[in-house]
Amino acid sequence: QKEVEQNSGPLSVPEGAIASLNCTYSDRGSQSFFWYRQYSGKSPELIMFIYSNGDKEDGRFTAQLNKASQYVSLLIRDSQPSDSATYLCAVPNQGGKLIFGQGTELSVKP
């Protein structure tokens, strides 16, 4: 059974700082990884995906994948209060399904 682990937080960072969110996964054969953002009371929104080792940047967001160590990270530069949300890491499972971590709650303080 594949597993995805995240620290539940809350992770608190000051406005303008870098927020670092981490996720580890159990299946060494996993090939793609997804980050979702979920604001309180709202549905998850896909914000990043990464397939290859290394970094992938999209605006203030950078996803980092290290397959040898089986972890994937999401960095948020210049954090804003509007980034306060729960961030979910997900890994594909067979049959088109995704396995989600429990999510890390991020709080950006003004």
Partner 1 sequence: SQTIHQWPATLVQPVGSPLSLECTVEGTSNPNLYWYRQAAGRGLQLLFYSVGIGQISSEVPQNLSASRPQDRQFILSSKKLLLSDSGFYLCAWSLWGQDEHYFGPGTRLTVT
Residue with smaller CB distance to partner 1, 49 or 61: 49
Q: In angstroms, what is the minimal distance from the CB of 28 to partner 1?
A: 17
Cα(6)–Cα(10) distance, rounded to whole angstroms? 11
Minimum distance, C-beta of residue 18 to partner 1, in the bound complex (Å): 25
Q: Which is nearer to partner 1, 79 or 90 (by Cβ)?
A: 90
Query: Which regions of the chain does DSSP assign to beta strands (E)?
Result: 4-5, 11-14, 19-25, 33-38, 45-50, 54-58, 61-66, 71-76, 85-93, 97-100, 104-109
| Alpha-carbon dihedral sign for residues 46, 68, 55, 11 | positive
Closer to partner 1 by CB, 14 or 31: give it: 31
CB 38 to partner 1: min, Å: 9
C-beta of 1 vs 110, nearer to partner 1: 1
Q: Give residue 11's identity as a one-letter amino acid code.
A: L
Q: At closest approach, how far in Å is the CB of 69 from partner 1?
A: 21
Distance between CA 105 and CA 88 in Å, rounded?
Answer: 9
Contacts to partner 1 by CB under 8 A: 32, 34, 41-46, 49, 88, 90, 92, 95-98, 100-103
